[in-house]
Amino acid sequence: MRMTRETQVQELLLQQYERYYRLAYSYVRNEQDALDIVQESAYRAMRDCRQVRNDTYLSTWIYRIVINTALEFLRKHKREALVEEVIEPFQTKQEFDETLSLLHCRWELAEILEHLPAKDKTVILLRFFEDCKLEDIAQITGENINTVKARLYRTLRKLRLEVPNI
């Protein structure tokens, strides 16, 4: 029995939910907004899934929807204040120092990524945080694979100049 397109999209949404959430969160840096983006993306995917001509592109098509929905959200909301993380009390000074160091690294990385142009940020997030292949990134972004490679390497060079430890 062949699955319907809606069933295929529904299964992909359920199987890849955490990945879509992480991707949305990497753009908006807010749990509730990321959840809203994933929900809106799922709605759009279910609504428009018949427009995809080839079933093999469904996964990358949904990624593209999540990215576009996140970018649309950012344009509408113009980056409202970030929600602070709540940190539990520490047992030892070493635990405090390690956590402080980790938070500092995460803050620096978020700050660096925040200043990248949207297309560059998308390529970096998909490649290094979602472990997508370059071919998949090209499909998701709708760009030629050589353009994706050039964007990735140019952005990495730019990041190395800004952060010498990369």
One domain, residues 110 and 54? no
For the chain, which residues score pLDDT lower than 50? 79-87
Closest CA to 72 of 142, 144, 24, 124: 24
- Could you report the per-residue pLDDT of 116-130, keeping only the tens digit for each? 898 998 998 888 888
Which residues lie closer than 8 Å to 103 by C-beta, 6 or more apart?
85, 87
One domain, residues 75 and 104? no
Indicate the SS3 state at residue 1.
coil
One domain, residues 163 and 114? yes
Residue carrying structure tokens 């809106």? 40
Please report the pLDDT score of residue 82 as a whole number: 44
The CA distance from 9 to 90, in Å, is 44
One domain, residues 62 and 34? yes
Single residue among 30, 55, 80 that ends a domain in this structure: 80
Domain that holds residue 72: 1-80
Provide the domain count of the chain.
Answer: 2
pTM of the shown model: 0.64
